[in-house]
Structure 1
Amino acid sequence: MTNSRQLSIAAILAVASASATTSASAAPETYQVDGSHTFPSFSYSHFGLSTQVSRFNTTTGTVMLDPEAKTGAVDIVIDTRSVDTGFATFNEHIQGEDFLDTATYPTATFKSTQVVFEGDEPKAIEGDLTIKGVTRPVTLEVNHFTSMTHPMLQKPAIGANASTRIKRSEFNAGKYAPNVGDEVTITIAIEAVQD
């Protein structure tokens, strides 16, 4: 085998190896939601006296990110029966037919339609929010995002905080509006770990 032929084969192998490495690094990464550190909360005006804040204790889902392609997907499922207002009687009340109707609709979901990047980070997540069987488009504004190695699990992890506003009457949950505020701010603190 001549030196020139050896060089040609080596060059082809080098290009193939570089292409494989580039493809691997550009592949989308999938993260599983860490339910022990992911809590959607909601706040609203209570007769104008105060802003009440409650949360849901059980959330599952996946997040897919491809920072190089600047694409992603978010799929979240909230167990509405896990609502936590800080008061057991009110937990039952808010699960009733006038509000979340958890006997009929035990989950609420968010499925993204587009992740909007600013530079290398997601800044907004557009998607469909479903509550009580009603689906409406919302935009989650991301005000914090981090990607790092989880210090305890030693796996790639992401964390974010995001929020949006809805009118509960648009989801057939408008009882006592406007005395109890119709506008609800939904905020989610999320952590997710790579598979």
Structure 2
Amino acid sequence: MKHALWITALTTVSLAACSPPAAEKAEKAQPAAVATPAKPAPANEALPGAYKLDENHASVTFRVNHLGMSRYTARFTDIAADLQFDPANPAAMSVSATIDPRSIETDFHGDKPDFDAELAGPSWLDAAKFPKITFKSTKVDVTGPATANVTGDLTLHGVTRPVTL
């Protein structure tokens, strides 16, 4: 990290040193181009209807704090999700998702080569006993033109709790 900061600082100083004096810059300056107005945000072009997640291009990623010094990152790769989409009536929209906890993957390759299997095992997710993690929306609150808070029931390890995404 220190090396990156030094390289950035040296590069900035070097570029500033090669730059012409301010008077020369002003002489060489071209007239300012006429500003064009900002384009309005595009309207939502998605059609209402039922949508399915493309499982080949999706994962659910999460991080867990490790002693306040770093984070473990993991992901689930076996996911199914459905969306009922209606931009004219956001309150009627819904989403549901199912995750197979055995699909957990980490990039941890330390002294536990079977760490992923351990996480899916009885000490953690107990995937044999609880083979699904599910989310089913109960409410959609629109917060902006392309954002919303989605409240629903998350079931993990046999316990269901309300969460807002």
Determine whether 1:114 maps to 2:139: yes
Supply the distance in 1 between the matched residues of 2:101 and 2:126 (Cα, whole angstroms). 9
Greater relative contact order (Cα < 8 A, sep 6+):
1
Verify the 8 A CA contact 1:31 1:62 in the aligned structure 2. yes
Specify the alignment match of 1:84 in structure 2. Answer: 105
Aligned to 2:95: 74
Q: Matched residues in 2 for 1:65 and 1:30: separation?
A: 6
118, 132, 135: which one aligns with 2:160: 135
State the 4+ residue runs in structure 1 displaced beyond 4 angstroms. none
Aligned 8 A contact 1:70 1:120 in 2? no
Name the counterpart of 1:58: 78
Contact 2:61–2:76 (Cα < 8 Å) also in 1: yes
How is 1:148-187 mapped onto 2 (pairs within 5 angstroms)? none
Counterpart in 2 of 1:95?
A: 120
- Of the candidates 145, 151, 159, which is equivalent to residue 126 of structure 1? 151
Between Structure 1 and Structure 2, which shows a larger proportion of strand residues? 1
Structure 2: tracts of 5 or more residues without a match: 1-46
Residue type of the alignment partner of 2:154: L
Distance 2:146 2:80 in 1: 22
Whether the aligned pair in 2 keeps the contact of 1:67 and 1:120 (CA below 8 Å) is: no
SS of 2:65's partner is strand
> What's the secondary structure of 1:36's corresponding residue?
helix
Q: After TM superposition, give the deviation of residue 116 of structure 1 in Å.
A: 1.2
Q: For residues 147 and 141 of structure 2, what CA distance do their matches in structure 1 show? A: 6
Structure 2 letter corresponding to 1:136: R
Percent identity over paired residues: 39
Tell me by how many angstroms 1:119 deviates: 4.4
Backbone CA RMSD of aligned residues: 1.6
* One-letter identity of the residue aligned with 2:63: S
Give the Cα separation in 1 of the matches to 2:136 and 2:73.
Answer: 24
Partner deviation per Cα, 1:5-45 (whole Å, 9 max, x = no partner) = xxxxxxxxxxxxxxxxxxxxxx8411001111221111111
TM-score normalised to the size of structure 1?
A: 0.55
Structure 1 or 2, whichever has the larger Rg, is: 2
Matched residue count: 114
Question: Paired residue for 1:45, among 37, 56, 65?
Answer: 65
Q: Distance in 2 between matches of 1:105 and 1:37?
A: 25
